[in-house]
Amino acid sequence: MRAFGRWLLWLMLAGLALQLAFLGRIAFMAWADPHSTAFQRSEAWRVAHESLQGSNSWSWKQQWVPMEQISPNLQRAVIASEDAGFTEHGGVDWEAIQTAWQKNERRIAQAEQRAARNPERPVRGPKIVGGSTITQQLAKNLLLSGERQLLRKGQELVLALMLEALLSKQRILEIYLNSVEWGEGIFGAEAAAQHYFRKPASRLTAYEAARLAVMLPSPRFFETRQGSAYLARRAGTIVARMNAVSLP
């Protein structure tokens, strides 16, 4: 029992040390721009590895710009599309998480029913939706792996609360817009604006900003489908919502 107690104590101390390390890194970001995120580093490794194997060509675009050089249109579009309650919640939207959980349970049940009716027919897995806020997305991209695990999700929630406690809403949005993926090797608002519209992020129109915002859940998918009817239709919906968005 003593050995188990010591092991448990060391495990708790290691967990505490990890949280303090995360806390220090987030506090540092209050005034220092992060050079890269955990997600970007994993993507850089993947792209470089594929390039060496000849299955992909190396391409990487990113340029950090201050919030003053990111169009308010893009700021509003991203909030309208990704997290309408961004300025109001404390990092985690518990109601959205509950709604997403219920929706996922219904989709899983429907998939199981289809499989039971047609046992010999391959059934595609249900599309799982999340209730993540912009702060949670930033926490995951900045400091965590992309694995879908319950423990990682719990750590994401803790990090989101740390971000909200130590950084302003404007700073959280600034880091998010400069680090989020907008296509294969395309990170941040400036790189996305230059890649898709050949202009700086400061000059994006409402419709251009809305198109970029709609891409965020599946940027690599929409990168090759710029003529998608869904993309155009959804962008129009986001434009209509943007006037109701208050910036932090």
Class of domain 62-87+167-248 as given by CATH: mainly alpha
Under a CB-based contact definition with an 8 Å cutoff, are residues 213 and 80 in contact? yes
Q: Which residue do the tokens 């409402």 mark? A: 206
In tens, the pLDDT along 220-241 reads 999 999 988 999 999 999 999 9
Give 131's pLDDT tier (boundaries 50, 70, 90): low
Q: Could you give the residue range(s) of every CATH 1.10.3810.10 domain in the chain?
A: 62-87+167-248
What percent of the chain lies above the pLDDT cut of 70? 80
Q: Looking at residues 154-166, what average pLDDT do you find?
A: 93
Q: Looking at residues 84-109, what average pLDDT do you find?
A: 70
Give 73's pLDDT tier (boundaries 50, 70, 90): very high
Q: Looking at residues 141-161, what average pLDDT do you find?
A: 82
Give 126's pLDDT tier (boundaries 50, 70, 90): very low
Q: What is the pLDDT of residue 153?
A: 83
Q: Looking at residues 61-86, what average pLDDT do you find?
A: 95
State yes or no: pLDDT of 22 exceeds 70: yes
Give 101's pLDDT tier (boundaries 50, 70, 90): low
Q: Is the dihedral of CA 110, 114, 117, 120 positive or negative?
A: negative
Question: What's this model's pTM, rounded to 2 decimal places?
Answer: 0.84
State yes or no: pLDDT of 119 exceeds 80: no
**pLDDT, greater one: 60 or 180:** 180
Query: Long-range contacts of range 80-84, CB-CB < 8 Å, 24 or more positions apart?
Result: 80/210, 80/213, 80/238, 80/241, 80/242, 80/244, 80/245, 81/210, 81/213, 81/214, 81/216, 81/238, 82/134, 82/137, 82/213, 82/216, 83/133, 83/134, 83/135, 84/241, 84/245
State yes or no: pLDDT of 34 exceeds 70: yes
State yes or no: pLDDT of 37 exceeds 80: yes
